[in-house]
Chain A
């Protein structure tokens, strides 16, 4: 039996054995208007949306390929309860200080609040029935969520990761997953950051020390591998 691996850097992924769709989830982190759309949290802070939007089209393409082979997809959304009772005081304070107060009214509704328009996942990457959606109050998708329960129930041990922003929510989640023994692959053209230098550094950080947090590959290589599997 051929062992299928994704051509990746600094090692062909996964580290042990081959790619098995049954135990691998595509993770789509925070593809929300708040992070890559007009009028949301990132836009309100004055950052260049083209940086966080850069991964949308490649992710849409990868998502299509993943779904075509029946792969499991997990989406995450960062946001807070409307009464902000789950928003730490310092998080709220910092957001107000930079002009993007969590809970404040904006062009896309109240910033980073569950149920608001800006909080929704962008239409290009909208979840389908049967896919898991994880709502999180922080940057890491494991903290204070049921992500681990969902992954365990499904028998998921490997994660292919897309999302925004590379150095914040994606990296925090990948670190959490890695510490917990999940084998992770970051898809380099399916992610972006508010600063391009931080995006590049975030990719390098994954690859240090022989792949301390996992491996990195372009979506093309993932699509190639799942086509074979």
Chain B
């Protein structure tokens, strides 16, 4: 599909079961990044389209544990309401839930093992926040050889003024971390390729 800076993925779309939509931290504690609810709505749309097309959906949940460094204050404690899922984005029993103690969805989590066991090498990212958990998880996925796509308008920013740079950093050097596209473009691709 069309993406910046190259048509994604580099090796052509695999079977839908081999592409995961990774919803990053769709939790109450990060809802403030999306006051108008637009990102949330796009995540819902992406999730529904992914399910229809047969893509597995991963729900990444950030939560304070003993492994969480004290200074990472924005990681919510499990006991607080900030940790809970946003109501429109609660996982179903069949969805994959990954709990992370810090910003990177791979650090001290079952993410890599879960994806590997399903032979998933292609990831599509959306969620909260662009510069923090999305970017950290994207970078670690990329270093591990995952082929990544970021839904640029499906990510909520900590600082909206930094959004352009967050995307620009992805596209430099031929797509150093992968590629990005709009949610609409992603949905159109799912419909075109795997409409049921």
Please list the residues of chain A having a beta carbon within 8 angstroms of any beta carbon in chain B: 15-16, 42, 45, 47, 88-91, 93-95, 97-98, 100, 137-140, 143-144, 167-168, 171-172, 175-176, 178-181, 183, 194-195, 197-198, 200-202, 204-205, 208-210, 212
Contacts of A168 in B (CB 8 A): 169, 172-173, 176
| A205 contact from B10, B131, B173, B178, Cβ within 8 A | B131
Would you list 5 pairs from A and B whose C-beta atoms are within 8 A, ordered by A residue? Answer: A89-B145, A90-B10, A90-B145, A100-B173, A168-B173
The 5 closest A-B pairs by CB, nearest first: A138-B143, A201-B165, A88-B145, A98-B174, A179-B102
> Nearest-CB distance from A108 to chain B (Å)?
17
Cβ-based interface call for B103 (8 A): yes
Q: In the complex, which of the residues A45, A139, A167, A204 has the most CB atoms of chain B within 10 Å of its own CB atom?
A: A167
User: Is the pair B107, A176 in contact by a Cβ cutoff of 8 Å?
Assistant: yes
- Digitize B121-161: 1 where CB-to-A-CB distance is under 8 Å, 0 elsewhere: 00000000001100110011011110100000000001100
> Which residues from B are CB-within-8-Å of A97?
6, 174
Residues of B within 8 A of A205 (CB): 131, 159, 162
Q: Are A176 and B104 in contact (CB under 8 A)?
A: yes
Residues of chain B within 8 A of A204, CB atoms compared: 159, 162
A17–B174 CA distance with the chains assembled, in angstroms: 42
* Residue B72 CB within 8 A of the other chain: yes
Knowing A94-B174, A212-B132, the reply to whether A195 touches B168 (Cβ < 8 A) is: yes
B192 at the interface (CB under 8 A from A): no
What is the distance, in angstroms, from A198's C-beta to the closest C-beta of chain B?
A: 5
Contact A89 B11 (CB under 8 A): yes
- Contact partner, A140, options B71, B103, B140, B147, Cβ 8 Å: B140
Which B63-106 residues have a C-beta within 8 angstroms of A?
A: 69, 71-74, 101-104
Is A143 a contact of B158 with CB atoms below 8 Å? no
> Which B residues are CB-close (under 8 A) to A183?
71
Q: A208 near B159 (CB under 8 angstroms)? A: yes
Q: Scan B5-29; emit 1 where CB is below 8 A from any A CB, else 0.
A: 0100111000000000000000000
Chain A nearest CB from B128 CB (Å) reads 13
Apart from A45-B173, A140-B143, A195-B168, list 16 A-B contacts with CB within 8 A: A15-B71, A88-B145, A91-B145, A97-B174, A100-B173, A137-B143, A138-B143, A139-B139, A168-B172, A178-B103, A180-B107, A183-B71, A197-B165, A200-B165, A202-B165, A208-B162
Report if A209-B74 is in contact (Cβ < 8 Å); known contacts: A139-B142, A179-B136, A198-B169: yes
A198 in contact with B102 given A89-B11, A176-B107, A178-B69 (CB within 8 Å):
no
Closest to A143 in B: B143
Contacts of A202 in B (CB 8 A): 165, 169
Q: Complex formed: what's the CA distance from A91 to B142 in Å?
A: 9
Query: What residues of A have a CB within 8 angstroms of the CB of B69 in the complex?
Result: 178-181
Given A139-B139, A143-B140, A179-B136, the answer on whether A95 and B103 have CB atoms closer than 8 Å is: no
